[in-house]
Every structure is written in C-alpha cells, then in structure tokens.
Amino acid sequence: MKVLLADDEPVTRAMLCGWLRNWGYQVLMATNGREAITALESDPDLRLAIIDWEMPEVDGVEVCRYVRERKSDEYVYLMLLTARNGAEDIVAGLEAGADDYLTKPCNRHELNVRLRVGRRIIELQQALVAAREALRVEAMHDGMTGLLNRTAFLERMKGELSRSEREGLPLGVLMIDLDHFKQINDTNGHAAGDAVLKEVAKRVTGILRSYDVVGRLGGEEFGVLLPQCSTEQARRLGSRVLAAIRTEPIVAGGVTLEVTASIGACSTEQTLDRIPEALLAAADSALYRAKREGRNRVQVVIGTDWPKLGATLRPASVKPVLLTGS
C-alpha cells in the first residue's frame, strides 16, 4: 500500500521512511505541505498520509483542511505528526480533518499499530463506496433484464437529445412492444414470460450498435435510442431488431414460443421538440399503428402525425446532418 510521508526534517523523514518500507509500504515523500498537496492530487492511489504539522510554505493542518474540503469519494486517512501535545493543539488538528494524531518522537510500535487502524478504516470506506455504487446501479437498471429502467432511460435520453442538438445530428427512437405477451404469460406462466423478456433483451442489445441505448420501459415494452439516425435509418434498424426477435423461436420453460413484436420508429430529423416524453409518444403512436395493421411489423411516424401529437415540425429548410448507411 502507498503512503505519503511529508516532513521537512531529513533525519525524521529518513527514519520513518525506513520503518515504513520494512513494514511493506511503498513510500512517497514530500518536504513541505505544497509538495504533499501535489502528491495527493496527482496520485489517486494515495489513501494513507503521515503529515508533519510544522512545515514551510503550507503546514500540515492546512494540508488536512485542503484534503477534507476537496470533493472526492476516495477517502485519505491523515495522520498528523507533531511535537505539540497540548489539548488545544490536538483539537485543532482533528478539527482540521486529521484522523489521528501522533507526537514526536515517534514510537515505532505505536506508529505501526496506528497505521493498521488507518488501513482498516480505508477498507471500510472503500466497501461503503462500492456498496453505494452497487445501489446506484441497481436503482438505474431493471432487475430482470439488466437494461436501463424507465427513469434512467429518460435521463439518458435527455443527454442524447442535448448532444444531438449540439452536433446537429438526428436522434432516432424505437418503441418495441411484444405481441400477445399476456397470452404467453396466461398460457405458459410468468416464469416463461420472464424468460422471454430476458431473451428479447439479449437479442435486441446484440443486434444494435455499441453506442445505442436500450431500456425496459415497463411490462413487455422496450425503448431504444439511436444516435445519428434519421427516421429511415431508425426504420431499418427497427427491421433488424424485429428480425432478431422473431427469426428464431424462444425456448422458455421447456416450451418453444414464436415471439413477434410491433415497433414504432421516429427521429428528431422531423421535429424541433427536445422533450423525451414527446418523442416517446411519437414512437408509441407509430407502434400502435403497427398493432392496428396486424402486428409483427415496423411503422414510422409520418409527417402528418406530428401536428396531431402537438409537436413542432422542423422547417423544411432546416435539416440536420444525415449520415449514410445504418
């Protein structure tokens, strides 16, 4: 484990460095507070630091205060080293952000034990950060399919719409609804329905580009964001998705099921609106046209559909850049 040793006294620095290396630490050294701050800023693996109080330019208390004021999930355990041993000095050091306080001259065994305590606290903090990240990921994803859930999908959509606007490139949107899914559940049980959803999620993500975004919006409904896609390109990608879903039967719970889907496609190519819900509603309207016309097909939002949805049409003279191919 790396440890930063900041002390302006060469003799003390050499003695402590020897101890630390004998205990298996990788030691980085600083001779003043400014060097200590630079080291902590430049090396994210530095999680343990021994900081002398009395140093030129920036003292140890200021280093502690600086570390605690910066925004970082990577906790640094700070041990303040000083000849001061008054109660008011100890309080000042701890209030500045030090985790521990060791007086000079140092006791070798005491320092070793205190460092082990620091390592345990760092490990606990790392476990806390990992648990918090796991909860964040869980809150963003659908537990069954692993896809983004509706809330996270809409949030991602806002970002993609902003990027689309900045780059002058269209964003395509697909809405996918599995045909007769209720019948699958009613006839074969919910376990079979769950297996179908997982397999469809796998097939959809497998057929799309690495930067396309897929989410499960609820029930048997999925959404797809297609950066740099015109309406026609979105339609073609929708056709590929449909083929991936229906070409091979899905085996679920020992039953072989023929699964199809209805897909609605649209793109910001035709509208100035940048509201996620409005674009999803547009793709949804095309999806329900696909349902009305017999299911198992892809439909796109046509120009006359947009005013019915309350959308603002893009003037014919203002077109986004369109990319060739799909």
Rounded to an integer, what distance in angstroms lies between the CA atom of residue 105 and that of residue 186?
A: 77
Rounded to an integer, what distance in angstroms lies between the CA atom of residue 248 and that of residue 196?
A: 12
CA-derived radius of gyration, the chain: 30
Q: Which of 220, 248, 277, 293 is catalytic?
A: 220
Residues of the chain by 3-state class (helix, strand, coil), percent to 5: 50, 20, 30
Element (H, E) at 167: helix 150-167
Rounded to an integer, what distance in angstroms lies between the CA atom of residue 316 and that of residue 270?
A: 9
Rounded to an integer, what distance in angstroms lies between the CA atom of residue 131 and that of residue 127?
A: 6
Rounded to an integer, what distance in angstroms lies between the CA atom of residue 292 and that of residue 227?
A: 28
Q: Does 220 qualify as catalytic in the annotation?
A: yes
Structure tokens at 183: 């019948």
Rounded to an integer, what distance in angstroms lies between the CA atom of residue 222 and that of residue 7?
A: 59
Rounded to an integer, what distance in angstroms lies between the CA atom of residue 248 and that of residue 250?
A: 6
Rounded to an integer, what distance in angstroms lies between the CA atom of residue 321 and that of residue 239?
A: 23
Q: Taking CA 43 as the corner, what is the angle to CA 40 and CA 46, rounded to the nearest 5 degrees?
A: 65
Rounded to an integer, what distance in angstroms lies between the CA atom of residue 246 and that of residue 267?
A: 24
Contacts of 198 (CB under 8 A, 6+ apart): 144, 145
Rounded to an integer, what distance in angstroms lies between the CA atom of residue 13 and that of residue 63?
A: 17
Closest CA to 56 of 77, 73, 31: 31
Give the residue numbers marked as catalytic.
Answer: 220
